[in-house]
A and B are shown apart, each in its own frame.
Chain A
Amino acid sequence: AQSVTQLDSQVPVFEEAPVELRCNYSSSVSVYLFWYVQYPNQGLQLLLKYLSGSTLVKGINGFEAEFNKSQTSFHLRKPSVHISDTAEYFCAVSDRGNYGQNFVFGPGTRLSVLP
């Protein structure tokens, strides 16, 4: 079964500093990778996705992520964070199996941007 690890449950960072949120997944087969953001009292919103092709993926709000197949990682980065980036971030993986059976979320990382 798939599993997703987000090593940091909480990441505090000062405004305008860079940030990296780590994500590792277990599957060695071809996968699709996603990052979602959840603002307080809201649902999850897609930040970016990796389906194939270039391993560096750019998303909304200045975020990007790099797919590393050999390390089974999909870390999320932003060069300069803003107060409004404070939210919870979820990494998710799905593979070529049947829908619903193979879409797995990580436990989430809470990003706190400090003034």
Chain B
Amino acid sequence: NAGVTQTPKFQVLKTGQSMTLQCAQDMNHEYMSWYRQDPGMGLRLIHYSVGAGITDQGEVPNGYNVSRSTTEDFPLRLLSAAPSQTSVYFCASSTRGGANQPQHFGDGTRLSIL
């Protein structure tokens, strides 16, 4: 049972480069989210989706784009990487049911922007 799978696990980019962080889940979860984790700040929500074709912004959306063409996949795109985007990125998913459903997390992508 794979759960939530994130690729790549590590990435180094130069300022201005673009890349896509991949996230896939095999639990048929409707809800998916992207968070970034920075020291002393916990996890902050970047974007989320409540189903295929539906996305919305979280707390820190600037510099990131998302799309949700299928239930399984929720990629996060950095169009022009900046050093401030150096962080650990987590994808999470949960079932429909709203706020009482715990989220299932991937193992993270560690991203460094030089």
Residues of A within 8 A of B (CB): 4, 9, 32, 34, 36, 41-46, 49, 51, 90, 94-103, 105-108
The answer for the CA separation of A99 and B33 in the assembled complex, in Å, is 10
A42, A51, A100: which has the most chain B beta carbons within 10 Å? Answer: A100
Q: Given A42-B107, A99-B31, is A90 in contact with B99 using a C-beta cutoff of 8 Å?
A: no
13 CB-based A-B contacts, threshold 8 Å: A9-B40, A32-B99, A44-B105, A46-B102, A94-B100, A95-B99, A100-B33, A100-B48, A100-B56, A103-B99, A103-B103, A107-B40, A108-B40
Within 8 A of A (CB), among B29-66: 31, 33, 35, 40-45, 48-50, 56, 58
Q: A99 to B96, alpha carbons, bound, how many Å?
A: 9
List CB contacts (< 8 Å) of B72-99 with chain A. 90, 92, 94, 98-99
Complex alpha-carbon distance, A45 and B108, angstroms: 12
The answer to whether B4 has its CB under 8 Å from any CB of chain A is yes
CB distance from B42 to the nearest CB of A (A): 4
Question: Once the chains are docked, how many angstroms separate the CA of A98 from the CA of B48?
Answer: 11
Which residues of chain A have C-beta atoms less than 8 A from B43's C-beta? 44, 90, 105
How many residues of chain B have a CB within 8 Å of chain A? Answer: 28
Which B residues lie within 8 Å of A46 (CB)?
102-104
Q: Known contacts A96-B98, A100-B56; is A43 also within 8 Å of B106 by CB?
A: yes
Contact A102 B99, beta carbon cutoff 8 Å: yes
Given A44, A51, A97, which contacts B90 in the complex, CB threshold below 8 Å?
Answer: A44
Q: Which single residue of chain B is at the shortest CB-CB distance from A91?
A: B42
By beta carbon, the residue of chain A nearest B58 is: A100
